[in-house]
Amino acid sequence: MVRHIGTTRFGMKWNGPLVAQVLLILLLLWWQPSASSAETVRLKLATTTSTDNSGLLQALLPPFEQSYNIKVDVIAVGTGKALTLGRNGDVDVVLVHAREAEDRFVHGGYGVNRRDVMYNDFVIVGPPNNPAGIRGSQKASQAFKKIAAVQALFISRGDDSGTHKKELSLWKVAEVAPGGAWYMETGQGMGASLQIANEKRGYVLADRGTYIAYRDKVTLEVLCEGDPVLHNPYGIIAVNPVRHPHVRYMESMMLIAWVTSPEGQRIIEGFKRDGKVLFFPWPK
């Protein structure tokens, strides 16, 4: 069965992931000859703190910028705020990790041509003494129940990020309404929240990539992992130029083509800290 995955600016439908990928690669090839003589274009990318805090963007974006003379201005916020920036037309493209929210963004007419980019997973980390006894829990919701039962300190990002959305969904499954002195919302990004959890000896839900990047800064340990519900996919979406004609749609498609191209995917796969891969390229 052929799957519809997007619509061009001129209303033409792209049917099938292979056709779409070929068109994106052709766009890269078409642009390159004129890039060296053109004035540098600035592209606004709203993305999550995890892609920024982990250091991935510092590896992924410079080759794209140098090859195509496009400077990417990164705005690192939570997924919710990134999608709001896209919804308002304040950025050109978004790279986020909350699939349901992404689908609402596209179905609402705010974004077009969403593409899968990469994935990792979430982990529940906490102090080595593990006061809630969650080490080895097979289900993340069970670990959350144990934390709530003893009212061990839990650090929440509280920022409508993809990580925060995942956390709230886990509390819902656990049938717990978190609150009170044991539940602390930081309103900050993943790296900052990890450091706060480390200082206060609390638990926190983190994406594995940022946790690996911060392992030399914290003594928190991975205590719950492997639950399929902790799967963490990332997608990239161009802001709809029909709704916001001022956005740089062509350059956004160039960036989408780059991060999903074989070269971009090799950079993602090769990005490591202490020999560990932080993000995995999307399976083809």
| CATH code of residue 36 | 3.40.190.10
Separation of alpha carbons 220 and 214, rounded Å? 10
- Residue 204: the pLDDT is 98
Together in a domain, 95 and 145: no
Together in a domain, 185 and 224: yes
Total number of domains constituting the chain: 2
- Residue 38: the pLDDT is 59
Q: Domain end: 187, 215, 230, which one? A: 230
- Residue 39: the pLDDT is 84
Residue position matching structure tokens 């805090």: 53
Residues of the chain predicted below pLDDT 70: 1-38
What number of residues does the chain have?
284
Separation of alpha carbons 107 and 181, rounded Å? 39
Together in a domain, 23 and 93: yes
Together in a domain, 83 and 162: no
Together in a domain, 210 and 148: yes
Together in a domain, 138 and 201: yes
**In 3D, which of 76, 87, 83, 88 has the Cα closest to residue 100?**
83
Show Cβ contacts of residue 17 under 8 Å, excluding neighbours closer than 6 positions.
Answer: 3, 5
Q: For the chain, how long is the longest CA-to-CA vector?
A: 64
Together in a domain, 156 and 256: no
- Residue 132: the pLDDT is 98
- Residue 9: the pLDDT is 38
Q: Are 193 and 157 in contact (CB under 8 A)?
A: yes
- Residue 49: the pLDDT is 92
Residue position matching structure tokens 């289900």: 139
- Residue 11: the pLDDT is 39
Residue 180, φ and ψ in degrees, nearest 5: 100, -170
Tens of pLDDT, residues 234-259: 999 999 999 999 999 999 999 999 99
Q: Would you call 97 helix, strand, or coil by DSSP? A: coil
- Residue 32: the pLDDT is 53
Together in a domain, 127 and 41: no
DSSP-derived letter for residue 155 is: E
Together in a domain, 114 and 17: yes
Together in a domain, 212 and 241: no
- Residue 7: the pLDDT is 43
- Residue 245: the pLDDT is 97
Together in a domain, 200 and 259: no
Q: Domain end: 215, 230, 245, which one? A: 230
Report the predicted TM-score, pTM, of the whole model to 2 decimal places. 0.84
Q: Domain end: 230, 253, 272, which one? A: 230
What would the 3-class secondary structure string for 21-63 be? HHHHHHHHHHHHHHHCCCCCEEEEEEECHHHHHCCHHHHHHHH
Domain that holds residue 68: 4-119+234-281
Together in a domain, 251 and 158: no
- Residue 23: the pLDDT is 52
